[in-house]
Amino acid sequence: MAKSIMHRKEDRTCYLCMLLRDDYNAREDLQEHHAMPGTANRRLSERYGLKVYLCIEHHLVGPDAVHSNIRLRRLLQANAQMAFERKHSHEEWMEAFGRNFI
């Protein structure tokens, strides 16, 4: 398993709590979320470290859960692309994922 290039697991923070609420409190209920959905893209997310750690509310339950909120899912995908392109080229992103989210 590759280490995330988007978020430090050791911080025990929820990526979206920090981003949306400026809440940097440590959480016990974190779950790993791969930023790029689908079987093939999940493997690529793992390979390139395109994953974040989310509280239950932002991962699975409620209106701000990325599995049910397209706006937040697209935000994570755009952030994943930006993180990827800091290490690789835009062309490599397009070759791997085939879609621009920025």
Give me the pLDDT at residue 2, please.
80
With respect to residue 62, please indicate whether it lies within any of the assigned structural domains.
Answer: yes
The C-alpha atoms of residue 95 and residue 18 are separated, in whole angstroms, by 31
Residue 47 CB-density burial (10 A; 0-12 exposed, 13-18 middle, 19+ buried): exposed
- Please give the distance of CA 6 from its chain centroid, rounded to a whole number: 7
Segments forming the whole domain that contains residue 85: 9-96
The domain tally of the chain equals: 1
With respect to residue 101, please indicate whether it lies within any of the assigned structural domains.
Answer: no
Return mean pLDDT, the chain. 94
Query: pLDDT tens digits, residue range 32-66?
Result: 999 998 888 889 999 999 999 999 999 999 899 99
With respect to residue 2, please indicate whether it lies within any of the assigned structural domains.
Answer: no
**pLDDT range class, residue 1, cuts 50, 70, 90:** low
pTM of the model: 0.91
- Please give the distance of CA 83 from its chain centroid, rounded to a whole number: 10
